Amino acid sequence: MRKSVPIVLLLLVLIVSMLATPMLAQPTLNIVETAENDGRFTTLIFALEATGLDETLKSAGPFTVFAPTDDAFAALDPDLLADLLDNPTKLVEVLLYHVVSGSLTAEEVLEHGCLTTLQEGFLSIHVVDSAVMIDGATIILTDIMCSNGIIHVIDAVLIPQCVHPAKAVGYAFLRLWRWRLVGLARLEIYPFNTVEHPDCNPTDRPECVWVIKLTVWARSRRCRWRYHSHRVRQARIEAYWIIRQTWMYDSKMIVKAEGHVWTWNGHKMSRPPPDVVVATYHSEPFCTKAFGRGIFFFGIGT
């Protein structure tokens, strides 16, 4: 009996300590229900319901949502807002640009630096004067926990870049010093962190840049190169550019890209390729042109 007394006392102490420790209540509302109850996201909820994305954000997820307030939508250009509400496809892209797969706290968001969205674009996160910025918007409230993810409140609507992953096949003409090369070619546009790259990272945050890759299977009558004998008349050339500027003009996307690195049959060349301009025509048939000093490509989208 005496031995059982300390055991009973120990159990009582454990029970009292457990009762004294506040239990963290698990959230029971999903992202859409939480936003509805908040009252600051009526425009966002309307847009989600209009596109059917509200059902997506009610699913298991988890998702991280950067939610613009009603004031953020009100600050949009009226013509842009009307265009988005009249064009469901554009509206879906804008809304998905605010959603990231996974449940990320504010601390984890900062650690990532860049996030890939469900729209297949990416968001750049940085700190300016102690404020956390995400693509030009300020995160004004963090870590609203939901049953299927987390909401972070932002003060502006994020508009995605007009760049999308794309591929086109066609032909290319290259003029490299004394050599004139022509051959079948493939042009690709993709986020940097999705493929292996032959050179060091072009920025401190490599996943925050878009890359243009041009692969050319070239033939030439004059193909002298230090890695080849003069009899070799075939080469596989891979050139990489970093996209620096994009804009839309009528039905085409215009991209300006800075030369980064290129290889000749796997050997890195000493100079970067010249800068190029890429024009993608969003019409039928879908076609892409790329041109720069000594470079021309024409292809059809795949």
Among 90, 123, 154, the domain-final residue is 154
Is residue 231 pLDDT above 50, yes or no? Answer: no
Residue-level pLDDT at 173: 85
61 or 42, higher pLDDT: 42
In this structure, the answer to whether residues 121 and 175 fall within a common structural domain is no
Structural domain contains residue 12: no
Any domain includes 133: yes
Q: Say what the pLDDT of residue 83 is.
A: 82
Domain's final residue, options 128, 154, 180: 154
If asked whether residues 230 and 207 sit together in one domain, one would say yes
149 and 206 housed in the same domain: no
Give the strand pairing for 149-154 and 63-68. parallel
Question: Which of the pair, 200 or 269, is modelled with greater confidence?
Answer: 269
The encoded tokens of residue 44 equal 């966002």
pLDDT of 179 higher than 80: no
Listed range (106-110, 162-166, 241-245) with the worst mean pLDDT: 162-166
Q: For residue 88, is the peptide bond before it cis, meaning its omega torsion is within 30 degrees of 0?
A: no
Last residue in a domain, options 131, 154, 177: 154
**Quick check: 289 pLDDT over 50?**
yes
What was the pLDDT predicted at 25? Answer: 63
**Average pLDDT of span 184-202:** 68
Pairing of strands 252-264, 234-249: antiparallel
For range 35-63, the mean pLDDT: 87
For the chain, how big is the Rg over CA atoms in Å? 27
Q: Pick 203 or 28 by higher pLDDT.
A: 28
pLDDT in tens, 143-153: 889 888 899 99
Q: Is residue 243 part of a domain?
A: yes
* Residue 174 pLDDT exceeds 50: yes
Q: Strands 114-116, 122-128: parallel, antiparallel or unpaired by DSSP?
A: antiparallel
Residue 148 sits in the same domain as residue 193: no
Q: Are strands 114-116 and 179-191 parallel, antiparallel or unpaired?
A: unpaired
Domain limits for position 41: 31-154
Same-domain check for residues 297 and 173: yes
Instruction: Indicate whether 140 and 172 sit together in one domain.
Output: no
Element of type H or E holding 42? helix 42-51
- Between 43-47, 182-186, 213-217, 244-248, the lowest mean confidence (pLDDT) is in 244-248
> Looking at the predicted structure, is the pLDDT value of residue 204 above 80?
no
The predicted pLDDT at position 214 comes to 87
Instruction: Find the CATH number of the domain harbouring 138.
Output: 2.30.180.10
Residues found in the chain: 302
Residues 140 and 171 in one domain: no
Q: CA-to-CA distance for 292 and 243, rounded, in angstroms?
A: 14
- Asked which of 45-54, 60-69, 220-229 is least confident by mean pLDDT, the reply is 220-229
- Of residues 185 and 287, more confidently modeled: 185
Per-residue pLDDT at 1 = 43
**Mean predicted confidence (pLDDT) in 265-279:** 82
Together in a domain, 62 and 102: yes
Residue 24 lies in a domain: no
- Structural domain count of the chain: 2
Query: Average pLDDT, whole number, for the chain?
Result: 77
Q: How many CA atoms lie within 13 A of 146 on its CB side?
A: 28
What's the pLDDT tens digit per position in 67-114? 999 898 888 888 888 888 888 888 888 899 899 988 888 888 888 777
Does a structural domain hold residue 14? Answer: no
Residues 297, 171 contacting (CB under 8 angstroms): yes
Q: Are residues 182 and 283 in the same domain?
A: yes
Provide the pLDDT for residue 276.
Answer: 85
* Residue 228: predicted pLDDT: 43
Residues 209 and 183 in one domain: yes
